[in-house]
Amino acid sequence: MRIITRYVLREFALYFFMALAATTSLLVLRRIFLLTKEFVRKDVSLWYMAELVGYVLPGILVLAIPIALLVGMLMALGQLGFTGEITAMRASGIGAHQLILPVAMVGAAFMVMDYFLIDYAVPWGNNKHLGLRSDIARQNPAMILEEGTIMRSLETAGIVWFYERTDPVSGRLVNVRVWDDFRDGHPRFSLASEGTVGLHEGRGALTLLNGVSYERESDQLTTVVRNRFAREIIYIPLEEEVDRSKYTFKHYRAMSQKKLNDEMSGLRVRLSTETSGIMRANMERSYRRAAVEWHKKFTIPFACLAFTLVGVPMGVITRRSGFMVGLVYGLPLIIVYYTVLRVGETVGAQGSMPAWLGAWLPNFLVLIIAGALTRQMLRR
């Protein structure tokens, strides 16, 4: 039996790391896609994007490990069943149910690792991530474009500007108006039919196309010079380096279990003395959100154990190849799990059900499925 166990676990390890790499890559690519738009707008060094992705990697691994455990187990056992090795084990007097205990021990080990990730690495990464995002948000505000709004983010540099809309085909700014050099006593007003914001010769530039500018001639107060232009460039100050600040965020997902305990204790004390109905309602809502995050410190790691328990009977019962099992059976269960988790998290925070039940609901569902499939496997 030990030989069989080692053989199965060796096969499982191969598929597990394949599934972990694929899942992590997909989640990282999704994060990069979401960040790309902001970084293109702000012209910030891509090193900061890599740093942000590094900070969210612990949170990605927390979600990817349970998924990889389920998919890896289904692929390994499904492949063994497809090639007839499960049948050979049964013919030798070894029941597939005897794999449950060693596989559960593997799931328990990953559960412990996932807990330390979610309680230590994830809060650290979230704090660093939120801090850097806040620093970047203050960086190069001219690159944040707002249609139909007078933008004063460059007012300290003597530039105020406006554009009506963005052309959906060309992506250019339409009907651009710029007031610049007004701080030195020689203001100029430019009106262009189109414009773009980007880099020119390594410098930030607002490029105006097909327009006219008005400015005072020398020191004459009453003389205004009108100049037509096909293309004019107004340089705007952009900095590639982000000024780093130290932040302490009171975000429940950026707190460890100990800090959440302290936060919830403080909220309970304040609730016992608060008389205002509105304030009590706000504090109760905050307490429920904190309670949901506290329980998620345990429910998400527990998914490692739950998914391995459901993976054994599901992989044994099926008769498809390993890759097909992971896609056809594993993916729907994963989608259902995280959908139920999100719904339970929401209703738990709203008070429609206890916070602990909302957080643990998907695990209860997976354990019920695991029990039903195990019973069917044993009947065979």
Give residue-wise pLDDT tens across range 238-265. Answer: 554 555 555 555 678 778 888 888 888 8
Same-domain pairing of 271 and 292: yes
* Rg of the chain over all Cα atoms, to the nearest angstrom: 29
Number of domains in the chain: 2
The beta strands (E) that lie in the chain are given as 159-166, 173-180, 188-200, 203-216, 224-235
Interval 320-365: pLDDT, tens: 555 566 667 778 888 899 999 999 988 988 888 898 999 999 999 9
Classify 45 as helix, strand or coil. Answer: coil
Q: Which of 316, 248, 298 is nearest to 8 (CA)?
A: 316
Same-domain pairing of 35 and 104: yes
The DSSP 8-state label assigned to residue 220 in this structure reads -
Q: Are 160 and 152 in contact (CB under 8 A)?
A: yes
Same-domain pairing of 132 and 257: yes
Same-domain pairing of 160 and 298: no
Same-domain pairing of 196 and 66: no
Among the three residues 170, 202, 235, which one is the final residue of a domain in this structure? 235
Q: Does any domain span residue 241? A: no
Among the three residues 180, 201, 235, which one is the final residue of a domain in this structure? 235
Same-domain pairing of 29 and 128: yes
Query: Phi, psi (5° rounding) for residue 186?
Result: -125, 75
Same-domain pairing of 370 and 323: yes
Same-domain pairing of 272 and 363: yes
Same-domain pairing of 277 and 186: no
Interval 205-218: pLDDT, tens: 788 999 998 877 65
Same-domain pairing of 148 and 117: no
Q: Are 317 and 377 in contact (CB under 8 A)?
A: yes
Q: Does any domain span residue 246? A: no
Q: Find residue 188's DSSP bridge partners.
A: 180, 215
Same-domain pairing of 109 and 190: no
Provide the domain limits for residue 33: 2-138+252-379
Share of the chain above pLDDT 70, in %: 74
Among the three residues 191, 207, 235, which one is the final residue of a domain in this structure? 235
What's the pTM? 0.67
101, amino acid identity: L
Q: Which of 340, 357, 364 is nearest to 288 (CA)?
A: 357
The beta strands (E) that lie in 122-223 are given as 159-166, 173-180, 188-200, 203-216
Q: What average pLDDT does the chain have?
A: 79
Instruction: Tell me the CA distances in angstroms from 17 to 70, 184, 333, one per residue in order.
Output: 12, 63, 19
Q: Does any domain span residue 243? A: no
Same-domain pairing of 88 and 165: no
Instruction: Tell me the CA distances in angstroms from 283 to 69, 143, 191, 347, one per residue in order.
Output: 38, 38, 51, 17
Instruction: Tell me the CA distances in angstroms from 113 to 58, 117, 239, one per residue in order.
Output: 11, 6, 41
Q: Does any domain span residue 373? A: yes
Q: Does any domain span residue 181? A: yes
